[in-house]
A and B are shown apart, each in its own frame.
Chain A
């Protein structure tokens, strides 16, 4: 036992003496609630005595603070005259500033309120996204007219970051996608004895669809996430605040260079991916049923400029979507390290949803237009 409670014999039981004894070390002491429960119910005055106390650490002060608060709440007098001075000093420091009182109303809300709140949040995010697109469009207009604070070296920097440095991963993925398409086609077309059309399948598949989509998915994961993390960290470091107070538009200075760089780079990467994909297809097809010359001739016949421009138009649009998703997540990032991680996740998830929806829309549109 590290404490002892003695009643004043001659009086009624309203006054108790609380003796603290022995060594008080963190983890080996009674909880304050236990001590409080041991006090007599009708106790109105407590005299604390630490004369028999040996060594102690803050566990004693923890208990004392709880006891003080309990006494305040229940109108009990606490006499600390017979305690050590340093303990009193520590207690004085802990109680000199009153506890913060929460002013917020109770957070409990009904299901209906929750649904309304969720809908409102969704509405706000749509509003924010539209507003962001609008601001980027205005900034772009300024840039075209030549009076935006966009620096050319920034654009070149981001072109280098997102273009040449992404070539290795684009090569790998495009080659494999081309090979997969060729395998898939060969197995199916062999049943019809039309193996030579593997070349058409790979060429059309890569040029109209997979080249643009696969590079976009790579760039969403690689560059979109990087944009969100860069801008998010700038938000955390107050760099974005610094730009705003210098009168520099974050849209023109931060978002536009990234957007323009992606729009310039995406079609180039897309063409490159198309070519690599066709090479991948050729590797598989020539190892199976088709000879190389046949494959080349068949590819030439299958693809025309319309197909290429379909792919390119998609890739440019995908570039815009990736940059918008990444930059928006970064610019509206919260102010702590957790928020930066969330912004990066958000950027990739949004970009991929945008990409797939946009790709489907493009295909329906081109089908209706007959190209």
Chain B
């Protein structure tokens, strides 16, 4: 039943911490070049699902396939190869506080490529400029604001031109302009680098403007209610709850 063309497919996945199940029977597929949103109310397990997809938490049941490769059943080397093609940005940046921004972004380049020091410096300068942090190379994370942490985290995540980018609440805590800029950036990177993006978010403007696919998780039902293009779901979802969520209970749009 596995669709061989799907970039990522999730089959009957149960997620949770230890014996506590947060979500079960999750089935969805992500195509190449999708901008895929994981949406749902607060506390429904969006970030938990993300953690299961990026290899931080092993699922209690079900499987996650990357181009047909089952991540959690693979040996360490295959896992490492898969992970090198991922870029992940965490909720609050997760920058290494003992390193400057330039060193943070340079770290994956130093470890996984054989670029010269000058080329690394140029690449770092470009990645920082891309997220609007040109000139901040020598700064340490403690000297920057929360929004800057997020953007610097993104610069580190895209250092190796990942095929697959994960974002955990990228625009939470950003002003509308920065948030819009981040959306544009995501679309551009996705197009230019031919990558696929998975975003945990509940920013409706982002979801509806750049999302091409999504899954809606519900805390009460403990499973997904619907999946598909968010713009389609807004109009035609069979689930009342999903339409309500995407239209902000009928007030927005």
The CA-CA distance from A59 to B125 in the complex, in Å, is 12
Is A94 an interface position by the 8 A CB rule?
yes
Contact across chains for A99 and B160 when beta carbons are under 8 A apart: no
- In the assembled complex, which residues on chain A have CB atoms less than 8 Å from the CB atom of B150? none
The CA-CA distance from A145 to B129 in the complex, in Å, is 59
Contact across chains for A31 and B132 when beta carbons are under 8 A apart: no
Q: Which residue of chain B has its CB nearest to the CB of A32?
A: B122
Is B2 an interface position by the 8 A CB rule?
no
Q: A27-B114, A100-B134, A101-B135 are in contact. List 10 more A-B contacts (CB 8 A).
A: A31-B118, A57-B193, A58-B126, A58-B192, A58-B193, A62-B125, A65-B129, A94-B129, A95-B129, A336-B97
- Count of chain B residues with a beta carbon within 8 Å of a chain A beta carbon: 35
Given A27-B115, A65-B125, A65-B126, A97 and B134 contact (CB-CB distance below 8 Å): yes
> How many pairs, one residue from A and one from B, have CB atoms within 8 Å of each other in the complex?
90
Q: Which of these binds chain A: B38-46, B78-86, B183-191, B197-205? A: B183-191
Is B113 an interface position by the 8 A CB rule?
yes
The CA-CA distance from A334 to B97 in the complex, in Å, is 11
Chain B 120-143 near chain A by CB (<8 Å), digits 1 or 0: 001101110110111110101110
Q: Which of these binds chain B: A11-19, A82-90, A119-127? A: A82-90
Given A86-B191, A97-B134, A336 and B142 contact (CB-CB distance below 8 Å): yes
- For residue A351, give the distance in angstroms from its CB to the closest CB of chain B: 24
Is A98 an interface position by the 8 A CB rule?
yes
Is A291 an interface position by the 8 A CB rule?
no
Given A26-B160, A33-B118, A90 and B188 contact (CB-CB distance below 8 Å): yes
- For residue B28, give the distance in angstroms from its CB to the closest CB of chain A: 28
Given A26-B123, A57-B161, A58-B193, A98 and B97 contact (CB-CB distance below 8 Å): no
Contact across chains for B188 and A89 when beta carbons are under 8 A apart: yes
Given A26-B161, A101-B135, A338-B98, A89 and B192 contact (CB-CB distance below 8 Å): yes
Q: Which residue of chain B has its CB nearest to the CB of A29?
A: B119
Is A7 an interface position by the 8 A CB rule?
no
Report B141-166 residues with CB < 8 Å from chain A CB: 141-142, 158, 160-161
The CA-CA distance from A31 to B119 in the complex, in Å, is 6
Is B116 an interface position by the 8 A CB rule?
yes
Contact across chains for B188 and A100 when beta carbons are under 8 A apart: no
Given A26-B160, A27-B115, A336 and B141 contact (CB-CB distance below 8 Å): yes
- In the assembled complex, which residues on chain B have CB atoms less than 8 Å from the CB atom of A87? 192
Given A58-B123, A100-B136, A336-B97, A90 and B130 contact (CB-CB distance below 8 Å): yes
- In the assembled complex, which residues on chain A have CB atoms less than 8 Å from the CB atom of B123? 26, 58-59, 62
- In the assembled complex, which residues on chain B have CB atoms less than 8 Å from the CB atom of A101? 135
A selection of 20 A-B contacts at a CB cut-off of 8 Å is A26-B113, A26-B161, A27-B115, A58-B123, A58-B127, A59-B123, A61-B192, A62-B123, A65-B122, A65-B129, A89-B188, A90-B188, A93-B185, A93-B188, A94-B126, A94-B129, A95-B129, A99-B135, A100-B135, A100-B136
Q: Which residue of chain A has its CB nearest to the CB of B161?
A: A57
- For residue B134, give the distance in angstroms from its CB to the closest CB of chain A: 4
The CA-CA distance from A49 to B242 in the complex, in Å, is 48
Q: Which residue of chain B has its CB nearest to the CB of A25?
A: B161
Q: Which residue of chain B has its CB nearest to the CB of A95?
A: B129
Is A4 an interface position by the 8 A CB rule?
no
